Amino acid sequence: MDIGNDRIFRVTMLAMVVALVVALVFDGVGHRTTSPSRTVVTTVASRSFTYKPRTKAFIVTTVPLLVHEQAGQFDYLAKDFSKRGVLAGKEVWGFSPSTLTLYQGDTADITIVNPSGDDHTFTVPDLNKSVYVKALSTGHLVVTAINPGVHSFECAMEEHMPFMWGQLVVLPASDAA
Ligand SMILES: [Cu+2]
C-alpha cells in the first residue's frame, strides 16, 4: 500500500467514526428529551390528595413572668409595680406554649393547667370561645379550626392584659400533604 492510498483509507475511516458518534449522540439526546417529559406529565396528573382532619391534644400551662410575688427577688419590680411604674396595676404572665399549630379542619383539644394563685381565662375572641380557669385548677376548651389563618388567644383578666396571649395558627389543609 503506497502513502497516498493509506491517507485516503485513514480519512475515510475517521469520517465513518465521526458519523457514527454523531448518530449515537443525537439518538441519545432524542431519548433524553422524550422520556422525562412523559414522566413529569404522569407525576403532575397523580398529585391529587385529600386530608383527613384530626383532633390534636394540647396542654397549655399558665406561667408567671413578672408578678408581685417576685418583688422581693428583683429590686426593680417595686418601681415597676408602683403607681407611675411601667407595670402599674398589671402583672406579666405567659401561656406555655404560646403557639398552637393546626391544619384546616382539625380540632384542638386544649387543657389549660393553672398551677398559680391567680385566676386566668383562655379566650379566643375570633372564634367566640373562652374558658375561665380558677387558681390551682385545670380548664378545658375544644376548638375546631374552620378557616386558615392566625387567631390570637388571650387571658381576659384586666390585670393580665395586654401581656398574656398566644396564637392559634391554622395552616391550609393542602400544606399537610
Ligand atoms: Cu391571666
Q: Measure Cα distances from 95 to 73, 114, 120 in Å.
A: 22, 10, 10
Residue 6's pLDDT band, with cuts at 50, 70 and 90, is confident
* Bigger pLDDT: 170 vs 4: 170
Instruction: With beta carbons less than 8 A apart as the criterion, state whether 77 and 24 touch.
Output: no
Alpha-carbon distance 109 to 111, whole Å?
Answer: 7
**CA 126, CA 154: separation in Å to the nearest integer?**
11
Cβ 74 vs Cβ 92: under 8 Å: no
Alpha helix stretches (DSSP H) within 46-146: 76-81
Q: How far is the CA of 156 from the centre of ligand 1 (A)?
A: 7
Domain boundaries, the chain: 3-176
Task: Report how far ligand 1's centroid is from the alpha carbon of 133 (Å).
Answer: 9
Please give the distance, rounded to the nearest whole angstrom, from the Cα atom of residue 152 to the centre of ligand 1: 14
Cis geometry, peptide bond prior to residue 64 (ω within 30 degrees of 0) = no
Ligand 1 centroid to Cα of residue 121, in Å, is 6
Residues whose CB is under 5 A from ligand 1 (ion)?
Answer: 93, 120, 155, 157, 160, 164
For residue 175, give the 3-state DSSP assignment.
Answer: helix
**Banded model confidence at residue 40, pLDDT cuts 50, 70, 90:** very low
Between 78 and 46, the more confident residue is 78
- CA of 157 relative to ligand 1 center, distance in Å: 5
CA 147 – ligand 1 centroid, Å: 27
| Distance between CA atoms of residues 91 and 78, nearest Å | 12
Of the listed ranges 142-146, 155-159, 161-165, the least confidently predicted one is: 142-146
Q: How far is the CA of 16 from the centre of ligand 1 (A)?
A: 88
Share of the chain above pLDDT 70, in %: 74
Dist. CA 63 → ligand 1 center (Å): 9
Average pLDDT rounded to a whole number, residues 149-167:
97
Pull the grid cell for residue 114: 393553672
| Residue 9 pLDDT > 50 | yes
pLDDT-derived band of residue 70, with 50, 70 and 90 as boundaries? very high
Termini Cα distance of the chain: 74
Ligand 1 centroid–CA 126 distance in Å is 18
* Cβ contact 123:160 at 8 Å: no
**pLDDT tens for each residue of 127-151:** 999 999 999 999 999 999 878 999 9
Look up cell 396564637; give the residue. Answer: 167
pTM: 0.70
Domain 3-176, CATH homologous superfamily name and number: Cupredoxins -  blue copper proteins (2.60.40.420)
Residue 42: pLDDT band by 50, 70, 90 thresholds?
very low
Looking at residue 29, what is its pLDDT? 46
Using one digit for the tens of pLDDT, what is the confidence trace for 27-39?
Answer: 544 444 444 455 5
Q: Which residue has the higher pLDDT, 106 or 35?
A: 106
**What is the model's pLDDT at position 23?**
55
Q: How many angstroms is it from 124 CA to the middle of ligand 1?
A: 13
